[in-house]
Amino acid sequence: MGKKVLFVATVVKTHIMEFHIPYLKMFKEAGWETAVAARNDYENPNDCHIPYCDYYFDIPFERNPLKKENVKSYRMLKEIIDRENYDIVHCHTPVGAALTRLAARDARKKSTRVIYTAHGFHFFSGAPLLNWLTYYPVEKYLSKFTDILITINQEDYKRAQHFYAKRVMYVPGVGIDLRKFTNIKSKDICKRKELGFKEDDILLLSVGELIKRKNHEIVIRAIAKLKNTDIYSSLHYVICGTGTLQNELIRISKELGVENHVHFLGYRSDISDICNVCDIFVFMSLQEGLPVALMEAMACGLPAIGTKIRGNTDLIINGENGLFSENNAKDLAVKIQELCTNNDLRIFLGQNAQKSIKKFDLESVKNEMKKVYSAI
């Protein structure tokens, strides 16, 4: 009988499809039978087609761990894992990984090995006390049922040393395909015109869900503080992403009188092209594991301004390949103005960003993951 692997995450479209297709492909090409268990989160369920996946199980995961659907999800997972006798079960996302590790307890007594990739613990330096009281004991307990715990940033790696997992390993993220994010300046003018901007406009870019954690509001407020500067007339803030706060962010933009300088592009599949026509990447997130959006921007040679938080600190070296900003509009406005008026600094930081991001290339990370799979 051939070897079998199961990938588990809470959702398909915004997790499995975004991060794990290269690894499904890697197993498939090595002759393994591949399976995915996750909730079908496509607007049209018929659009759910997972490449390199032999079997797909639609599991009704809910992100809120207290939802009753998660009881059903646990039972479904346990039945699948006990029946299929997987060699490896690799789980991701907090709820999906928690239920998977509980469901796989009996299978681990046989031959199944369980890997959990923590994409960023909910407890971290500066996190609310409630996060520590709620999530830390749960993650530590569940680590008892984990053969390999993978962390993707240095802060989580150090903290996980105190857990019970048989082995804790550090892998620098899920990897990004650097070939997709090359700095192709010949595309600038055409793409800028397509997006409605002029050649001499200064474009700030953020990529991420329109939710509180991504902190887009602080960027809008920083732009408002630049209204009386020479750069304001050509300064535009481009946001790629969708989310529940869009109407609120539009309201704030109008209230501050900067609505003509803030542009909501929605969900985009051409992020690399958009990165290549922008000048500065702004990433003021409040919490991250290891932010893919920031890595992609750096791979395009964009100088970045970001908060000094876990994950960002794994990527940005202040003054060398990007800048850190305090989480307030005044300091961010100063950093934006500094980069807008200093072209040499933008070029210097952008070139260093491209160099420093190479260790996060997909091929490098895939080689690291091969070591993880070989370890069990």
Query: What is the per-residue pLDDT across 133-187, written as a single tens digit (0 to 9) for each?
Result: 999 999 999 999 999 999 999 999 999 999 999 999 999 998 888 888 765 554 4
Q: What class does CATH assign to 178-360? A: alpha beta
Q: Label residue 221 by pLDDT band (50, 70, 90).
A: very high
pLDDT at res. 190: 83
With CA atoms as reference, report the closest residue to 266 among 282, 281, 254, 249: 249
Average pLDDT over residues 107-122: 96
According to DSSP, the residues that pair with 91 across neighbouring strands are 8, 116
pLDDT digits 0-9 by tens, 24-43: 999 999 999 999 999 999 99
Q: Reply yes or no on whether the pLDDT at 20 is more than 90.
A: yes
Q: In Å, how far from its chain's centre is CA 229? A: 34
**Architecture label for domain 4-175+361-375:** 3-Layer(aba) Sandwich (3.40)
For range 88-115, the mean pLDDT: 96
What is the pLDDT at residue 24?
A: 97
Q: How high does pLDDT run on average in the chain?
A: 94
Residue-wise pLDDT for 245-289, tens only, equals: 999 999 999 999 999 999 999 999 899 899 999 999 999 999 999
Report pLDDT for 188: 63
How far lies 291's CA from each of 98, 181, 286, 302, 333, in Å?
A: 22, 15, 11, 15, 22
Q: Which part of the chain is CATH 3.40.50.2000?
A: 4-175+361-375, 178-360
Look at residue 1 in the predicted model and tell me its pLDDT. Answer: 63
SS (H, E, C) the chain: CCCEEEEEEEEHHHHHHHHHHHHHHHHHHCCCEEEEEEECCCCCHHHCCCCCCCEEEECCCCCCCCCCHHHHHHHHHHHHHHHHCCCEEEEECHHHHHHHHHHCHHHHCCCCEEEEEECCCCCCCCCCHHHHHHHHHHHHHHHHHCCEEEECCHHHHHHHCCCCCCEEEECCCCCECHHHCCCCHHHHHHHHHHHCCCCCCEEEEEECCCCHHHCHHHHHHHHHCCCCCCCHHHEEEEEECCCCCHHHHHHHHHHHCCHHHEEEEECCCCHHHHHCCCCEEEECCCCCCCCHHHHHHHHCCCCEEEECCCCHHHHCCECCCEEEECCCHHHHHHHHHHHHCCHHHHHHHHHHHHHHHHHHEHHHHHHHHHHHHHHC
Q: What is the pLDDT of residues 187-217, one digit of tens each?
A: 467 888 889 999 899 999 999 999 999 999 9
pLDDT at 186: 47
Q: What is the spatial distance between Cα 148 and Cα 275, in angstroms, rounded to a whole number?
A: 35
